[in-house]
Structure 1
Amino acid sequence: MTNDSLPLVQHYIGGSTAQSASARTAPVYDPALGKATKNVVLADQAEIDAAVASAAAAFPKWRDLSITKRQQIIFRFRELLNERKGELAEILTSEHGKVLSDALGEITRGLEVVELATGFPHIIKGEYSENVSTGVDVYSTKSPLGVVGIISPFNFPAMVPMWFFPIAIAAGNTVVLKPSEKDPSSANWLAELFTEAGLPDGVFNVLHGDKVAVDGLLEHPEVKSISFVGSTPIAQYIYEKAAKNGKRVQALGGAKNHMLVLPDADLNLTADAAINAGFGSAGERCMAISVVVAVEPVADKLIELITQRMSTLKIGDGRRNCDMGPLVTEQHRDKVASYIDIAAEDGATVVVDGRGIEVDGAADGFWLGPTLLDAVPTTSKAYIDEIFGPVLSIVRVQSYEEGVKLINDGAYGNGTAIFTNDGGAARRFQNEIEVGMIGINVPIPVPVAYYSFGGFKDSIFGSNKAYGIHGFDFFTREKAITSRWLDPSHGGINLGFPQN
């Protein structure tokens, strides 16, 4: 049930807010208050078609706009975003629940990709080979795809869209972004800011909705590619359906990230890292550490140090001076909490129970405090499933080899880390581990923007990772031209510098 008196988040189509004719809406909650503060429209087929049509109409002119002009607009967007990121952070905290400092960190990581995109002229330039045969030259160009679709998750409402749309737009494409209906407002804010920066109408559109909107983008013949980040079952569904409809797909799925701790590790550093990587953003990160694999005899001491640090964490409203905020919805909070019971029933020890904690926030907020489980059986759903919340599990092993096998035997291969002071062990780990993103004494090894983000196995569907060179390759297609000119020619005289 939605409260019709609340503000309504509308689509952003063709450079302005579009008044929806759809009768379907969904509530948007402030997780720290535990109540709906606005509603969001849910697109019908007509609105899906309108968003795609807007992007399609804008594509020819944007594709043909000079590189210089496109670059100037992206630079301006970067400057505006950096100046006003505090506004966006407040929106993120009010709808997702993460603390303001974490929201600002999310925006900063997104800004890295915007900054990468400003350098697109160098990245998308082609190659040239002269005189491959007598009088014949061959060269290549990289061209945009057309209309591209982006489907983003609730946990990073600003950063994940920024993994994709700055690169897509820089390369000459037009975009339809479908954000999560749980925290939709940041997408509109970003689109409005890009318009303010001079982006032509229709180049960046925001389509709100649920599965109807998702399927609409997957099936629409004008949408040439789909970029997605979310859970593995949905990533697989999107990959298969989009590919069946002839689209390029980059679909990043779920994770169960392990931290391998060797006996020679600095346990104080390791305990700090486990706290930061396990409970930051309430554990709602695809790169969160959810399992600490302790090579004995370090487990007891490590648990002691982690428990000490957990006792100092302040849980509450992210707009206050807190370390960790609520979970995004009541349903998600309850699902995460259920894994504590599952683990205990399967024989794990609940060292710290985050249920029923005291918080600095409203009583109705979607609270679950940091939770620590010891001796979690690897057959338990609490170990196997991606919990996506502030639940950190300890698994004890007897050797480095046993730890590596445990990680490699998992279904996911998104991120992992090793904590050790042994350089040889670290080098061996990065060679033997079957995971896409690896940290060595770094608990959340998210690559910087000029590398690429993505994992192995059930953590990715499709061949292209996000951002970096993978991103530009995904959003362009190459043309190879073989050329012969029998007579030279030249244009008129102009001694000035070209301006555009």
Structure 2
Amino acid sequence: MRIIDHFIAGGTAGLDQARRSAIYDPNTGAVQAEVVLGGAAALERAVAAAEAAQPAWAATNPQRRARVLFRFKELVEAHMTELAHLLSSEHGKVIADSRGDIQRGLEVVEFACGIPHAQKGEYTDGAGPGIDVYSMRQPVGIGAGITPFNFPAMIPLWMGAVAVATGNAFICKPSERDPSVPLRLAELFLEAGLPAGIFQVVHGDKEMVDAILDHPAIGAVSFVGSSDIANYVYQRGAAAGKRVQAMGGAKNHGIVLPDADLDQVVNDLLGAAFGSAGERCMALPVVVPVGDETAERLKAKLIPAIEALKVGISTDPEAHYGPVVTAQAKAKIEAWIARAAEEGAELVIDGRGFALQGYEQGFFVGPTLIDHVTDTMDSYHNEIFGPVLQIVRAKTFDEAVALPSKHQYGNGVALFTRNGHAAREFARRVNVGMVGINVPIPVPVAYHSFGGWKRSAFGDTNQHGMEGVKFWTKVKTITQRWPDGSVDGGNAFVIPTMG
């Protein structure tokens, strides 16, 4: 049995391995490996290595830090096929989707390669008589990232690339469900020239999370996961004096106006709702057609398109999506489908009980379409996180805008229309953090920032882009004067002003 250990100080830790967790192949349902579950002792080793390495790394000029990131990017690209297959083997997403996972992470690495510019401070010449003021952005010191199972490459790269580029040491705690890709990324960072101790990986469950949140040497924690845990991470980390960004769940809506190109909408919905088996916080699991005529036309096009989707194993190049990550995830998704039916929704296409021939023990869920969902149903209010698309009908544009605006989650939303005025009004009024206009998954490009509103995000700073640079650095402001040697007899006991 393959054992996955921590990666500390440039190598495997070799600590007590008594506690372990199984890693499954979602395609077959079989256990393929075990990951060591650590706690305070493993974290202490990682922190000690980070403390030893970080001061010299922070003192390294930003051009040299950027060159390490350039080399790392080249190595990841060279190992793309290996990484994609490794990711799919533990997560279940198809190879093309795994490549996309890695590529979206690399786009943030590309942004971080520009850290000599992004980390610049500000300067004011002559702020007062003989006085100049300038600021500098200095690293927090040691940061940690607690990353989810659904993007085991992208999210560690979103967090880690900016953290190390700005001069921090970074400790990644990946999901215990699919931890191998973050471990491989740590090895590639080392090969690229990153000093040992600057990017480390520790494995664990709640015990490790709590150790990270409580450790006094860790100054910043970034988290992505469910909203309840995000809130817990934010509250506990903030109480310990850390800066925390904690991204939670989502229930993203796609509003379809009567003038929308429905063929394009259907094509977009297939990928946004069912890609990666719906295990994305930026999936689009709710579609809101405005008017019954629009709803009926959309439904008529959706049914044959969804029925034509191919569910297959991760390595099947013709499969649109693969299995979900665990048997527990499959059971939870199917329970939500049942709950929707109990609440009075119409199961148009029921994906429960799906079995793939030759892989009957795999964690597969068939594509599901549910109509006549209302905003009073539990299945609407909660995140299903599977290949399930719900139709919530709205009578008017205002009613459609209100649905995502009032929902407990506020991660992403999309509007499908040909009407520029409606699009402008929607973008201005909707109470959601990321908006797409005829873009079904509005994940911003790497030099902008990622972050939702309401219960989709806790904390004041978003992921990557300049928001990420701000999160991983502290501003120091210097006010300086170089007197010419004369004394003017001014009063030194009053607060200085620049008048």
Same fold (TM over 0.5): yes
Secondary structure (helix, strand or coil) at the match of 2:475 reads: strand
- How many residue pairs were aligned? 483
Paired position in structure 2 for 1:410 = 407
In 2, Cα distance between the equivalents of 1:409 and 1:65? Answer: 48
Q: Distance in 2 between matches of 1:165 and 1:328?
A: 24
Change over 3 Å in CA distance of 1:50–1:79 after alignment to 2: same
> How far apart, in 2, do the equivalents of 1:96 and 1:46 lie?
28
1:257 CA displacement: 0.4
1:401 to 2:398 alignment: yes
1:387 aligns with 2:384: yes
The residue aligned with 2:20 is 25
- CA contact under 8 A between 2:406 and 2:431: conserved in structure 1? no
Q: Which residue is equivalent to 1:471?
A: 468
Q: Deviations over 1:59-100 (max 9, x none)?
A: 111111122221111110011111211111011100000000
Cross-structure match for 2:276: 281
Q: Secondary structure at the match of 2:285?
A: strand
For 1:327, what is the secondary structure of its paired residue?
A: coil
The aligned runs of 1:284-433 (5 Å cut-off) are 284-296=279-291, 297-321=293-317, 322-359=319-356, 362-433=359-430
* Residues 20, 41 of structure 1: 8 Å contact kept: no
What secondary structure is seen at the aligned counterpart in 1 of 2:366? Answer: coil
Identity of aligned residues (%): 50
**Considering only aligned residues, what root-mean-square deviation do their CA atoms show, in Å?**
1.2
Counterparts of 1:314 and 1:197, CA distance in 2: 39
**What residue ranges of structure 1 are gaps of 5+ in the alignment?**
1-5, 489-500
**Where does residue 176 of structure 1 map in the other structure?**
171
User: Pairwise mapping of residues 16-415 of structure 1 onto structure 2 (< 5 A)?
Assistant: 16-296=11-291, 297-321=293-317, 322-359=319-356, 362-415=359-412
Instruction: Kindly state the Cα deviation for residue 134 of structure 1 after the two structures are TM-superposed.
Output: 2.6
Mapped partners of 1:85, 1:54: distance in 2 = 29
* 1:85-121 per-position Cα deviation (integer Å, ceiling 9, x unaligned): 1111011100000000000011111110000000001
Question: How far has the Cα of 1:131 moved from its partner?
Answer: 2.3
- Structure 2: how far apart are the matches of 1:487 and 1:162? 50
- Pick from 432, 438, 462: which aligns with 1:435? 432
Secondary structure in 2 aligned to 1:273?
Answer: helix
TM-score (structure 1 length as normaliser):
0.95
Q: 8 Å contact 1:317–1:360 — kept in the other structure?
A: no
User: How many Å apart are 1:487 and its aligned residue?
Assistant: 6.9
Structure 2 unmatched ranges of 5 or more: 486-499
Contact residue 95 and residue 183 of structure 1 kept, 8 A = yes
Instruction: Report the Cα distance in structure 2 between the residues aligned to 1:52 and 1:248, rounded to whole angstroms.
Output: 17
Change in 2 beyond 3 A, CA 1:360/1:87: farther
**8 Å CA contact 1:317, 1:361 repeated in 2:** no
Match of 1:492 in 2: none
SS of residue in 2 equivalent to 1:26 = strand
Decide whether the 8 Å contact of 1:314 with 1:360 is kept in 2.
Answer: no
Instruction: Please tell me whether the aligned partners of residues 355 and 364 of structure 2 are also in contact (alpha carbons under 8 angstroms).
Output: no
Whole-angstrom distance in 1 between the partners of 2:404 and 2:196: 47
The answer to whether the Cα contact below 8 Å between 1:144 and 1:476 also exists between their aligned partners in 2 is yes
Q: Distance in 2 between matches of 1:128 and 1:290?
A: 47
Matched residue of 1:397: which SS? Answer: coil
Inter-CA distance 360–52: structure 2 relative to 1 (3 Å threshold): farther
SS in 2 for 1:320: coil
Q: Is the 8 A contact 1:351 1:372 kept in 2?
A: yes
Q: Distance in 2 between matches of 1:303 and 1:146?
A: 53
TM-score (norm 2): 0.95
The reply on whether 1:484 has 2:484 as its aligned counterpart is no
User: CA separation in 1, counterparts of 2:132 and 2:419?
Assistant: 53
Cα distance in 1 for residues equivalent to 2:113 and 2:9: 23
Q: Aligned letter for 1:380?
A: M
Displacement after TM superposition at 1:358 (Å): 4.7
Q: 1:417 and 1:137 mapped to 2: Cα distance?
A: 47
Aligned equivalents of 1:94, 1:230: Cα separation in 2: 21
Deviation of 1:316 after TM superposition, in Å, equals 1.3
